[in-house]
Amino acid sequence: MTDELAGILEHVDRIAALDLEDVSPTSHVVELENVLRPDRPRPSWPRDVVLAQAPDPVAGAFRVPSPQADA
């Protein structure tokens, strides 16, 4: 993949030649005004529904291998 990535980077490097001195970077393309809603608690997903898609659920939690090889 090294050659492919080098070719892509060579192409995207063309923007290095542009004069962008006084340009502000885009953060959001559509003008939006921030709005706030009342902070009311709502029910969240039941634990068993969320765990149902996990590869290795156990005892109400996501089980993963130990972070240490010898543990």
Partner 1 sequence: MGGLLELSVAEAAGRIAAGEVSPAEYLVAWRGAAARDELNAYLWRAEDPVEEGEGPLAGIPVAVKDIFCTEGVPTTAASRILQGYRPPYTAAAVSRLTDAGVSLLGKTNMDEFAMGSSNENSAYGPVLNPWDRGRVPGGSSGGSAAAVAGGLAPCAIGTDTGGSIRQPAALCGIVGLKPTYGAISRYGMIAFASSLDQCGPLTRDVTDAALLLSVLEGRDRCDSTSVGIAGGVRKPSREDLKGLRFAVPSELGGEGVETGVREVFEATLGRIESLGGEVAETPLPHAEHGISAYYLIAPAEASSNLARYDGVRYGTRAPGAGELVEMYEATRAVGFGPEVKRRIMLGTYALSSGYYDAYYGRAQKVRAKIAADFSSAFSAFDFVVTPTSPSVAFNLGEKSGDPLAMYLNDFFTVPMSLAGIPAISIPAGLAEPSGGGPQLPVGFQIAAPAFAEQNLLEAAYALERAIGFDQRPPAADVPQGPPGQSASGDGADA
Question: Does 61 sit near partner 1 (CB under 8 A)?
Answer: no
Contacts of residue 63, defined as CB under 8 A and 6 or more positions apart, other chains included, come to: 56, 57
Smallest separation, CB 12 to partner 1 (Å): 4
Choice between 14 and 41, CB closer to partner 1: 14
**Cα→Cα distances 42→15, 34, 38, 50, Å:** 47, 21, 11, 16
Q: What is the DSSP letter of 15?
A: G
Residues at the interface with partner 1 (CB under 8 A): 1, 4-5, 7-9, 11-16, 18, 20, 23-30, 32, 37, 45, 49-50, 52-56, 62, 64-69, 71
